[in-house]
């Protein structure tokens, strides 16, 4: 099952994918839906009004997650291109929920002088139930499913200090969506093609099975630190091929079109525009 959040009649509403149509669910967004214990059954069986799939406008599936975790250096190819050692622990950093945008919204380039704006295609775990100190089976069962994200990064800010946060939370820079594909269809450790293309040129192409720390392992690790809650997002890291590691380095500019795709889950398509 694929679930999304659309913008409709001046509000948002959660929907279920039915191919040529979507079914409107009785929740304002997928995050709100996930906060109910029986969300999977409700989402699968609810018989609401339908809308044709063509022409819908999507928001991020969970527009206001309570937490957005990110993992750095988690694909072997990206670890190699960054000149780093294979890590013993996941490198975790945070992102602000308010930086998220919908899967077809414009990416706002930072204002002022030309910044070094880069792409990072990512498989995103969506948490489906509250979990703390989870063993591997409980951690896997806490995954609602997966969506597609791009952790657009402002490299010059990211490198200003030892901590990456300031390059990772610029306004309106993090597209997510359009679909949450549920874990019963993907399994907790999916092996899917992941790619990022800029202006039609494929820059990243890998498989999600190349992840060093897999989805359930990340849920378990984080749950030993803090309670994970329904709707929390975990950006699992990006494969090799980011702009700053290319020769010569490449970055995004006004008009650049970024397409981020994970097989069987969905695609983001975002245009870079100067900040409002």
Binding flag, residue 161, its own copies (CB under 8 A): yes
List 41, 49, 136, 160, residue binding its own copies (CB under 8 A): 160
87 contacts its own copies (rule: CB under 8 A): yes
- In angstroms, the CA 121 to CA 92 distance is 17
Nearest to 78 by CA among 107, 118, 115: 118
Does 247 contact its own copies by CB under 8 A?
no
Q: How far is the CB of 107 from its own copies (least distance, A)?
A: 14
Rounded to a whole number of angstroms, the minimum distance from the CB of residue 150 to its own copies is: 17
Is residue 238 within 8 Å of residue 121, measured between CB atoms? yes
One character per residue 22-61, x = contact with its own copies (rule: CB under 8 A): ----------------------------------------
**CA torsion through residues 168, 170, 173, 179, sign:** positive
Residue closest to 59 by CA, chosen among 97, 96, 20: 97
CB-facing half-sphere around the CA of 74: CA atoms within 13 A: 27
CB of residue 80 to its own copies, shortest distance in Å: 17
Number of Cβ within a 10 Å radius of residue 136: 13
Q: 């309106």: which residue's tokens?
A: 172
How far does Cα 5 stand from its chain's mean position? 14
Q: Is 86 in the site for its own copies (CB under 8 A)?
A: no
Distance between CA atoms of 182 and 227, rounded to whole angstroms? 21
Q: Which is nearer to its own copies, 97 or 143 (CB)?
A: 97
**Closer residue to its own copies, CB minimum distance, 137 or 225:** 225
Residue 132 binds its own copies, judged by CB under 8 A: yes
Tell whether residue 162 is a contact of its own copies (CB under 8 A). yes
Instruction: Kindly tell me which residue out of 51, 165, 192, 257 binds its own copies, with binding defined by CB under 8 A.
Output: 165
Q: How far is CA 88 from CA 74, 213, 215, in A?
A: 11, 10, 16
191 belongs to the binding site for its own copies (CB under 8 A): no
How far, in Å, CA of 255 to CA of 258, rounded?
10
Q: Using the rule CB under 8 A, is 274 a contact of its own copies?
A: no
Residue 202 near its own copies by CB under 8 A:
no
Contact 165, 186 (CB under 8 A): no
What part of residues 90-119 is at the interface with its own copies (CB under 8 A)? 90-99, 110-112
Which among 5-13, 221-229, 234-242, 245-253 is the span making contact with its own copies, rule CB under 8 A? 221-229
Are 141 and 111 contacting, i.e. CB atoms less than 8 angstroms apart? no
Residues in the chain: 276
225 lines the binding site for its own copies (CB under 8 A)? yes
Site for its own copies in 64-83 (CB under 8 A): 66-67, 72
Binding site for its own copies (CB under 8 A): 66-67, 72, 87-99, 110-112, 132-133, 157, 160-166, 169-171, 224-227, 229
């Amino acid at each position: 099952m694929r679930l999304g959040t659309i913008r409709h009649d001046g509000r948002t509403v959660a929907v279920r994918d039915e191919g040529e149509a979507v079914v409107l669910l009785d929740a304002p967004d997928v995050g709100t839906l996930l906060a109910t214990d029986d969300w999977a059954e409700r989402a699968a069986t609810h018989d609401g009004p339908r809308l044709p799939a063509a022409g819908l406008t999507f928001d991020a599936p969970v527009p206001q997650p309570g937490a957005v975790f990110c993992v750095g250096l988690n694909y072997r190819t990206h670890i190699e291109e960054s000149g780093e050692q294979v890590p013993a622990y996941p490198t975790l950093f945070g992102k602000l929920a308010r930086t998220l945008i919908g899967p077809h919204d414009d990416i706002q380039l930072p204002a002022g002088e030309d910044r070094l704006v880069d792409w990072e295609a990512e498989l995103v775990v969506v948490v489906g139930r509250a979990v703390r100190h989870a063993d591997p089976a409980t951690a896997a069962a806490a995954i609602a499913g997966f969506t597609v994200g791009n952790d657009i990064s402002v490299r010059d800010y990211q490198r200003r200090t030892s901590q990456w946060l300031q390059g990772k939370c610029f306004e309106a820079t993090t597209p997510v969506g359009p679909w949450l594909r549920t874990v019963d269809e993907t399994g907790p450790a999916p092996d899917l093609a992941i790619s990022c293309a800029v202006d039609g040129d494929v820059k990243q192409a890998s498989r999600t099975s190349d992840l060093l720390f897999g989805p359930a392992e990340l849920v378990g690790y984080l749950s030993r630190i803090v309670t994970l809650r329904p709707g929390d997002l975990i950006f699992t890291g990006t494969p090799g091929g980011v702009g700053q590691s290319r020769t010569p380095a490449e970055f995004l500019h006004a008009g650049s079109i970024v397409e981020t795709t994970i097989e069987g889950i969905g695609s983001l398509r975002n245009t870079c525009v100067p900040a409002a």
